[in-house]
Structure 1
Amino acid sequence: MAQAYAHEPLPSSRSIRLISLAPSVTPNAPIRCDITIVELQSQRAKVPYEALSYVWGSPTGTIPIRCKGMELLVTPNCYDALRRLRSRFSRRTLWIDAICIDQGDDDRAIRERNSQVQMMGDIYENAARVLIWLGPAHKFTPAVFRLLSMIGFIASWSWRHNFAQFSEKLIVKTLSRRFQVWIRAMANLQCSVPQDKVYGLYSIFRAAGLELPDVDYKKTVQEVYGDTAKSFIRMRSRKLNVLLISIKPRGYDELPSWTPNWEMSQMLGPDVVDITGNFHLESDRYRASGYSLATIPNFTPARELQVRGLIVGTVQKIIVSSTAGEQPELVGKRNFSVNYVIACRAWLMQLGSIWEADMYQGQEVPANAMINTLAFFKMSEAESLELEQTEAQFRSWADVFAYPDCNVVTAQDIEAVAQLDPSSVDYSEIIEAALNHANIRSSGDTVSDAVKQILVSAGIFHFVICFQLANWAFLFLETGHIGRAYYNCREGDKVALLAGSNVPFVVREVGRDRYQLVAPAYIHGIMYGESWPVDENGVKDMTLV
C-alpha cells in the first residue's frame, strides 16, 4: 500500500503551497506533482503561479494521484481539472485549494485552513492568472463558449473605448450596495462544507466593507451563519434586511429563528408561486419602522439577537390554503389551485365588516385595503395606468369569488362556463373552472362577450397576480388590520415593528420580551410608518431566539 502524503507545516502566516504538475504526453497517464512552499508577499509571489477555481463536488478525495512519490486523494472534479490542465512537455505551477491547503481535521490543519481561507483574496490577486474549471465538455459547450467570446469581444471593445473604466473603489461600492443580492445568492451556493457559503465569499465581503469575524472552521454552521447575519446588521446602514430570509417553515430547528436560512433557496423558482415567503417584501418603498436604525448586535450570546421593537397587534384569525407549502406536482396542480381558491373565497367572506365600513382604519376606502392585501407587491410599483387596470381586474375577481351571490355576472353564467353541476361539486371548483381560459374560450354563445371579458379579467388577477402568494396566509389582527404572511404563522402570534426593518414581522412569544421570528409580513395600514412612534416612545428591548 502506497504511503499517504502528509502536508508539512507552513513556516509563517503568509506561507502558501504551490503544486508543480508534471507533464505527460499521454492523457490517461497517472497524475504526478510536487509541492513547494513560498511566501506570499504584498507584491506578486516570487514563483509565478496560476490559481484554480472550481466546484469541489464530493467533500472528500477518492481518486489517488502521486505527490512527491506518495499517494494523495483528490475529488473527481479536481482530478478532471488536473488531467485537462496538465501540459505535454513542461511543468505547470498551480494553486489548488483542496491540495495546497491541509484538509485534515486535527487542530493544526484547522488552524491552517482558517488562516489560508482568510488569505484567499490575496492568493487569487497575486496569481499570474486565475483558471476557472467548469467541468468536462458536453454537446452545448461550443455554443456556450461562442457566446462567451462574443460577450468578451463586446466587453473588450467597450473597455478600449472608455465605456467600462471602473475603479476598484467603484466596484467595491457597487458590491456593498448589492449585499441583499449576495444574501439571497448564498443559499444557492453548492458547498461541500456548509460554512463555505460564508467563507467562500470571505475576501469579497471584507473588500466590500463587511466586518466578519475571523474564519474558524471549529464553529458550528449556526454560529457562522449567526455571526454573518450580525455582521450584516452591524454595517453602517444598520438595517435588518438579512432577517427577511430567516423563515424556516420546514424545520431547521438547530438554527435560531432569526438566523438566515441558507439551507433553503431564497430565489424565486421556475413556477409563479413564491416559495421564499419573503421575496416580495424586499422593497425600499416600505418604511414600517420609519427611518429607525437597528441595535448594534453583540456576537455573544451566539443564539440570541438583541433588537428594539414594538408589538402592534395580535393575529386573531388566519385563513390559509390546506396545501400551502406543498409541492403542486405532489399534491396535484388542480388540487393545489382549488385549495387556494377556497382560501381566497373564505377570506372574502370573512371581510364582511370591513366591506361595509366607510373607511379602512380611518385612512382609505376598504377596496383599496383589499386589493393591496391581495397584490401588494404589484400595487407598490405599478404606474397609474397599470393601477387602474389592476383595480378593474380586482373588481371582476371579487364579483366572481362572491359566487353564487355575484352582482355583475350571474351564477348561471359562471356555471355555464365551468360546465360543472353546483349540486355535485364545491363552489370553489366551479370558480376555479370558470376562470380557466380554455373553458372561457370554448364557452361559445352560452355567455355574452361582456361576461367572458369579466371572467378573463378575473382570471388574470387570480392566476397571474394573486396566485403568486398561494403559499401565504391571510391575517386578521385584533386591531382590525388585514395582511399577509407565509403559511407558517399561527393564530395568537404577534406582529412587531423592529427598529431598522422596512417591514413588520410576525413573532411568537416564548418568554418575557423573548420571541421567535416567524415571518416578515405585509400589514395594510402600517407599512409606511403609520404605527411607528416618531419619538420611539414605547419601543423596548427585545430578544430574538
Structure 2
Amino acid sequence: MAYSPLDTTQNQIRLLHLAPADQEEDEIKCSFSLASLDEDVDYEALSYAWGDNNKTISIKIEATRRYRKSRARMKRGKRAREPTSTRVLRPRLESSVLVTENLHLALKHLRLKDRERTLWIDALCINQSDTRERTHQVTRMSSIYKQASSVVVWLGEAWNGSELAMECLQRFGKDSNLHHDQSLSPGLTVNGMGLEYYELRGHLIQFFDLPWWGRLWTVQEYALAQRVVFQCGKRLLSGELLRESRRSFYNHSASCCGRPYLQIEHGETGLSLADCFVRLSFLEFIQTFRETYSFLTIVALFSIRQVTDSRDKIYGMLGLATGRYARLIEPDYTRSPEQVFEAAALASFDRTGKLEFLSHLFGQRQLKLPSFVPDWTASISSHGHHSSHQDWLTCISHYKASGGRSAEFNLIAAGKAVTRGIIFDTIATTGPSNDSRPFEKVVNEMRDLPDADRCSTGSYNHTSETRETAFRRTMCGSMDIVTKDSRACFRRLRGLTDFSKFKKWQVWYDTTFTLKSTLYDKDVSISNQLFFAVTVGRRFITTEKDYIGFAPKECEKGDLVAVLPGGSVPYILRPEPVADALWEQGHGSSSCYTILGDSYIHGIMDGEAFDMLDESEGELQEIVLV
C-alpha cells in the first residue's frame, strides 16, 4: 500500500477512520486522514499486542483524505465506545492492506453500528517500511497517547473464563470491603467462588497473562493515557476500576486475607495471583510516580516485556523519561541494538554523573556487549525474580559506597572503558544461589559455609556489631520497608535495630506449609520481600578480610570486590588478560577486568572503603573494564 507522506514540519500524524457495520461478519473498511498534533484533534488511541506477523488478513483502506473536525465533539467523560464523529471528504481510491489476526479482531469488535470511529493505530498509521517516518513517529508517541481522548486496551477475543475474571475485578474495584475469602464477611462471590478456588484464580491469572501484559510498547500507551478502557471481546472494564481492584487486593492481602495460595504459581504460566497484581502495580506506579524513577530503572522495570525489535527496549520507554533523562537519546533505527544500549548507558552517566548503569548487569545476557554495558534483552528466570530485582534497584539509591565522590568513567577504545577506584578485597568462599532452590535451604546452607560458625558468634569487627546482628542485616541489605502516604517506602536500618520482624520471618520459613498461612503477616511479608531483593541473582560470600555479603551468582573464589567513585554499591570484578599489545603499551601497568555486577558487602556501603584509603594516604587505582 502506498502511504501519502507526512509533513514533519506540521507535526502531522495519520488517523484511521473505521467505518460502521451492522453485523460482525461485515467486511472491515477504513480510511486515513492527515491531522496535526498542534491542533485540537479528536481521536482514540488503540493499545494492543500486534500478534503473529505471519498470520495476516486483508482489509480495505480508502485513500488518504483531509481531516475535518465535527462541531459535535465527543466529551471527554463519555464511554470509549462512543467515539468522535467526524466529517471528511468523500474518498476516491481504495486499496487492501494486510493486518495481523489480532488487529483484525480488534477492528471487528471496535466498530460502531451508526457512525465511524476515529482511531490512531501504530501498525496502520505509521508506514512501518519507511525507516525515516518510523523514527519520526516514534518520537511523537508520547504526545499521541497523551492527547488521545481515551486509550482503548484491546486484550483479545473473549475466552472461557474472561467474563468471570473481569466480573471479579469489577467487584473488587467497586467495593473495597470485599474479602478475598468467602469465609469472611462480606466475602467475594463470583459464580459461587472466592479466591480460595483454584478455578477463579486461574481465570484471573489468564487475564493478566494475555499478550497485552507482556508487550513493552503498551507500558507508555497505558501510562500516558488521560483515560483507559480495557476491552476483551465486547466486555469493557474501566482503567479506574482495575486500579481500585489492585488496591483492594493489596489492602486485604496485607491484613485479613493473606493466604499462601496467593503465592502459588498456576499451571504453565509460572505466575501466581500475587505476581499478576505486581504487573498492574508496575504500570500504576509508573503512571503516577515516573518522575521519581530514573530512566534506567523504568527500562529495567519492564525489560521482561517483549518487543519485535530489541532496540525498542530503549526506544519504547523514551516517552516516559522526565527531568534530566528527557530526550536521553534520539530514536535511530539505523543503529544496532548494541549501539543503542551502549548509548543509553553512557548518556545516563553523562546526565547524572553516576554509575547507576553498572547495577543493571543482571540476567542471562544475549548480546555481544562489553561487560560494563547492560543487556536489556537479558533473560530473567522468573517473574518473581524480576520483581525482586526492581526492589534491589530501589535499595541501591539508599547506599553511598563511594562516599559521594564523583565518578570518573571514559571510553578509551571500542569495548574498553577506564575508571579509577579501590580494589578492596577478594572473595574467599561462595554459598548457594537463591535462584533455583527453596530459600529455606539457601539460608541454612549459608551457615554451612567454611567458617560459618563465625557468622553467629563473636563480633563483626568492621561495624562493631555482633556477627549475628551483621548476618541479619546482611540478609535484608540493612533495609526496611515502611508505609508513607499509603505507599510502601524503602529506608536504611540505622543504629540499634529491633529484629523482631526478621525473627518472625525465620519462624515462618521454618514451619510447615499448612501452618504458614497462620503465621504470615505484614512483618513476615516485608522481611521476605527484602530477603529476595538482596539475594535473587546472587550468592552469599565471605571475603579474605572477613566481610560477608551477597555478590552476583556468577562470582567465584578469587574474584575482586571493588569500590568506584560515583558508585552507590561495591562491584565484583574478574581480572582478564590483555590481548591487544598496542593497547597494553599505551596503558602501562593498568589491569583489565570484566565486571560481573554489583553487590552488598556489609560494612562498606557508606563510604568506609574511601575513608580507609584517606587514612592510609593511598591513591586510587586505574581500572580498565572490557
C-alpha displacement of 1:358: 5.5
Relative distance call for 1:19 and 1:306 in structure 2 (3 A) is farther
Closer, same or farther: CA 153–172 of 1 in aligned 2, 3 Å? closer
* TM-superposition CA deviations, 1:319-354 (whole Å, max 9, x none): 335xx533x4xxxx5xx854x36632322x424567
Deviations 1:123-148 (A, max 9, x none): 33444544333333421234435636
Counterpart of 1:73?
A: 98
Alpha-carbon distance in 1 for matches of 2:26, 2:425 = 70
Structure 2 residue aligned with 1:493, among 559, 571, 592? 559
Distance in 2, Cα, partners of 1:218 & 1:185: 26
| Partner amino acid, structure 2, of 1:282 | C
Q: Which residue of 2 aligns with 1:325?
A: 435
User: Which structure 2 residues correspond to residues 104-123 of structure 1 after superposition, within 5 A?
Assistant: 104=129, 109-123=130-144
Query: Which amino acid in the other structure matches residue 392 of structure 2?
Result: F
| Separation (CA, whole Å) in 1 of partners of 2:515 and 2:291 | 50
Q: Distance in 2 between matches of 1:493 and 1:192?
A: 37
Decide whether the 8 Å contact of 2:447 with 2:455 is kept in 1: no
Give 1:452's aligned residue.
none
Q: Which amino acid is 1:320 matched to?
A: P
- Identical positions, percent: 27
- Bigger shift: residues 302-311 or 475-484: 302-311
* Contact kept? 1:286, 1:527, Cα under 8 Å: yes
Matched-pair contact (CA < 8 Å) for 2:457–2:468: no
TM-fit CA distance, 1:268: 8.0
Partner of 1:505: 571
Query: What's the offset of the Cα at 1:314?
Result: 1.8
Mapped to 2, the partners of 1:62 and 1:74 lie a distance apart of 5
Residue 458 of structure 2 corresponds to residue 346 of structure 1: no
Q: Does 1:526 align with 2:604?
A: yes
Whole-angstrom distance in 2 between the partners of 1:128 and 1:319: 54
CA deviation after TM superposition for structure 1 residue 537, in Å = 5.8
Which residue of the partner structure matches residue 6 of structure 1?
2
Q: Distance in 2 between matches of 1:81 and 1:462?
A: 44
Amino acid at match of 2:116: R
Task: Tell me the distance in 2 between the aligned counterparts of 1:508 and 1:49.
Answer: 55
Instruction: Name the SS of the counterpart of 1:36 in structure 2.
Output: strand
Aligned to 1:50: 44
**Paired position in structure 2 for 1:242:** 357
Query: Which residue is equivalent to 2:374?
Result: 260
Letter in 2 for 1:83: K
> Which ranges in structure 2 are unaligned for 5 or more consecutive residues?
63-93, 174-236, 245-285, 481-490, 517-523, 579-589
> Between Structure 1 and Structure 2, which shows a larger proportion of strand residues?
2
Q: Residue type matched to 2:399 in 1?
A: Y
1:470 Cα deviation (Å)?
7.3
The match for 2:402 among 267, 284, 289 is 289
Q: Which has the higher contact order (CA 8 A, sep 6+)?
A: 1
1:90 aligns with 2:115: yes
Query: C-alpha separation between the residues in 1 aligned to 2:496 and 2:303?
Result: 37
One-letter amino acid of the counterpart of residue 467, structure 2? P
CA contact (8 A) 1:317 1:477 kept: yes
Corresponding position of 1:160: none
Asked if 1:387 corresponds to 2:381, the answer is no
Instruction: Summarize the alignment of residues 389-538 of structure 1 with structure 2, pairs less than 5 Å apart.
Output: 389=500, 435-437=510-512, 469=535, 472-510=538-576, 511=578, 512-533=590-611, 538=619
Structure 1 window deviating more from structure 2 (487-496 vs 505-514): it is 505-514
C-alpha separation in 2, matches of 1:201 and 1:350:
46
Contact in 2 for aligned 1:288/1:501 (Cα 8 Å): yes
Matched residues, number:
452
The structural deviation recorded for 1:114 is 0.8
Amino acid at match of 1:176: E
CA distance in 1 between counterparts of 2:23 and 2:414 reads 54
What pairs with 1:298-317 in structure 2 (closer than 5 Å)?
A: 303-317=415-429
CA deviations over 1:286-345 (Å, ceiling 9, x no partner): 2111112334766x9674555442211122332335xx533x4xxxx5xx854x366323
> Residue 101 of structure 1 corresponds to which residue in structure 2?
126
What amino acid is the match of 1:516?
T
In 2: Cα distance, 1:66 partner to 1:302 partner:
50
Distance 2:607 2:111 in 1: 62
Q: Is 1:131 paired with 2:149?
A: no
Where in structure 1 are there 5+ consecutive unaligned residues?
Answer: 156-170, 398-431, 442-458
CA distance in 2, matches of 1:386, 1:120: 48
Contact 2:477 2:530 in 1 (8 A): no
Max Rg structure: 1
- Alpha-carbon distance in structure 1 between the residues aligned to 2:242 and 2:465: 55
Residues 177, 377 of structure 1: CA spacing in aligned structure 2 closer, same or farther, 3 A cutoff?
Answer: same
Determine if contact 2:427/2:557 at 8 Å carries over to the other structure.
yes
Q: Superposition pairs for residues 148-187 of structure 1, below 5 Å?
A: 151=240, 174-179=289-294, 181-187=297-303
Deviation at 1:440, TM superposition (A): 11
Between the aligned partners of 1:381 and 1:175, the Cα distance in structure 2 is 22
**Distance in 2 (alpha carbons) for counterparts of 1:73 and 1:28:** 18
Q: Deviations over 1:444-488 (max 9, x none)?
A: xxxxxxxxxxxxxxx999989868737632322223322221321
CA contact (8 A) 2:366 2:378 kept: no
Distance across 2 between alignment mates of 1:310 and 1:64: 62
Partner of residue 454, structure 1: none
User: Does the aligned pair in 2 maintain the 1:233–1:242 contact within 8 Å?
Assistant: yes
Deviation for aligned residue 1:267: 10
Which amino acid is the alignment partner of residue 54 of structure 1?
A: Y
**What's the TM-score, normalizing by structure 2?**
0.61
Matches within 5 A, 1:184-203: 184-203=300-319
CA contact (8 A) 1:315 1:492 kept: yes
Q: Which residue identity does 1:259 align to in structure 2?
A: V
CA contact (8 A) 1:185 1:266 kept: no
- Output one character per residue of 1:382-418: Cα deviation in whole Å (capped at 9) or x when no partner: 5889624368689x99xxxxxxxxxxxxxxxxxxxxx
Superposed displacement of residue 270, structure 1: 4.3
In 1, Cα distance between equivalents of 2:466 and 2:29: 76
Equivalent in the alignment of 1:415: none
Alpha-carbon shift at residue 219 of structure 1 (Å): 2.0
Distance 1:61 1:515, change over 3 A: farther
Aligned amino acid, residue 50 of structure 1 = E
Partner residue, 2:585: none
Per-residue deviation at 1:181?
Answer: 4.7
Cα pair 1:287 1:502 within 8 Å, conserved:
yes
Q: 2:43, 2:529 → 1: CA distance?
A: 53
Name the CA distance, whole Å, in 2 between partners of 1:70 and 1:384. 72
Offset of residue 438 of structure 1: 7.2
Residue-by-residue CA offset, 1:141-175 (whole Å, 9 max, x unaligned): 344356365946999xxxxxxxxxxxxxxx99953
Aligned to 2:320: 204
Q: Which moved more, 1:518-527 or 1:478-487?
A: 478-487
CA distance in 2, matches of 1:77, 1:440: 45
**110 and 357 in structure 1: CA distance in 2 versus 1, 3 angstrom threshold:** same
| Per-residue Cα deviation, 1:246-266 (whole angstroms, up to 9, x for no partner) | 124x34252332333433577
Alignment CA distance shift 1:62-1:308 (3 Å): farther
* TM superposition shift of 1:524: 1.7
Change (3 A) 1:306 1:77: farther
Distance in 2 separating the partners of 1:285 and 1:251: 27
